Amino acid sequence: MSQNNSCILYVGLDVAKLSLELNLAGKSHSLANDPQGHAQLLKLLAPHPHAHVVCEATGGYEQSVVRVLHGSAVAVSVVEAGRIRHFARAQGRRAKTDPIDAAVLTAFAQAVQPAPTAAPTQQQERLAQLSTRRRQLIQTRIAEENRSEHYTDPLCLRQAKQCLKMLQRQIQACDQAILKLIEADAELSHKAERLDAIPGVGTVVAATVLAEMPELGQLTHGAAAALAGLAPYNRDSGEHSGARHISGGRRVVRGALYMAAMSAIKHDRILKEFYLRLRAAGKKPMVALTACMRKLIVLMNRLLKDKNFELENKNLKISLAI
């Protein structure tokens, strides 16, 4: 932000499905999470040009109000809910109500001073929705396939077959819409083309990463790995040296990278050698595969950040030095 941090008024906003709880300059305001409530929110914030709203990621209920705040040029940060709960516990706050949660959000923002969440472009927002819809359809298809294995009644079998055909058509429609959206946008098309050059990364993985991690290409390599939940964290105390574990991050991106890494260690010589070297050193299969996933996300970030960086013969030779 351009203004000095001392001028910023941090504002906690607790978001629920139907309601908003605003903690503004020490006062609580209860609003509806609908267009009328959003208009009231903007009216309350209007006298405070340096207001910076902080809310939790609440599974999508925050999206409409965040969209309104971005549209009105109000700085807003969407923070992982777990960070807020840990902060509240560190303060000794056990009670949980909407006004208390809004006050905790304000205190968290004052202490941490989170960076504003960038507003997605219209194309990025639609890509994220299509990617989410495709993933939900696949999950539904898997559930239906599992259920249909146990049917013996002809009606149940016929309905399951019809349902699976419908789900497959809808998945294909999402795939086509994603391809058209990427092809129609020059920036997305260029990014997808760069990512698609990586072994194991196809159109679906590239679209998922671009939709779920729009920050990619603007991060340090360590931040990219951490945001994907692929950064190993120490567990040491005194003379004890514990095993490193990954934690947090964006589960959807991690799932896409898992599939990409599984393909890459089979078909890319360099990454396969890297994986086998880790296994020979005593690393468990999932640990070695996670290291490959981390190489992939770091390479993706490098490719999108540095326009002059190129893969050699479409292998990961350069990336293994990162």
Q: What's the confidence (pLDDT) of residue 312?
A: 57
Q: Say whether 193 sits in a helix, a strand or coil.
A: helix
pLDDT means per 10 residues, the chain with 322 residues, are: 69 94 93 95 94 90 93 92 88 85 94 90 89 93 95 95 97 94 91 88 88 86 86 67 69 90 89 92 91 92 82 49 44
Q: What's the confidence (pLDDT) of residue 20?
A: 95
Its pTM stands at: 0.76
Distance in angstroms (rounded) separating the CA atoms of residues 310 and 275 = 22
Residues 6 or more apart from 182 whose CB is under 8 A from it?
127, 188, 189, 192, 203, 207, 210
The 3 state secondary structure assigned to 300-322 is HHHHHHCCCCCCCCCCCCCHHHC
Distance in angstroms (rounded) separating the CA atoms of residues 139 and 112 = 37
Distance in angstroms (rounded) separating the CA atoms of residues 98 and 55 = 12
User: Quick one: which H or E segment has residue 29?
Assistant: strand 27-32
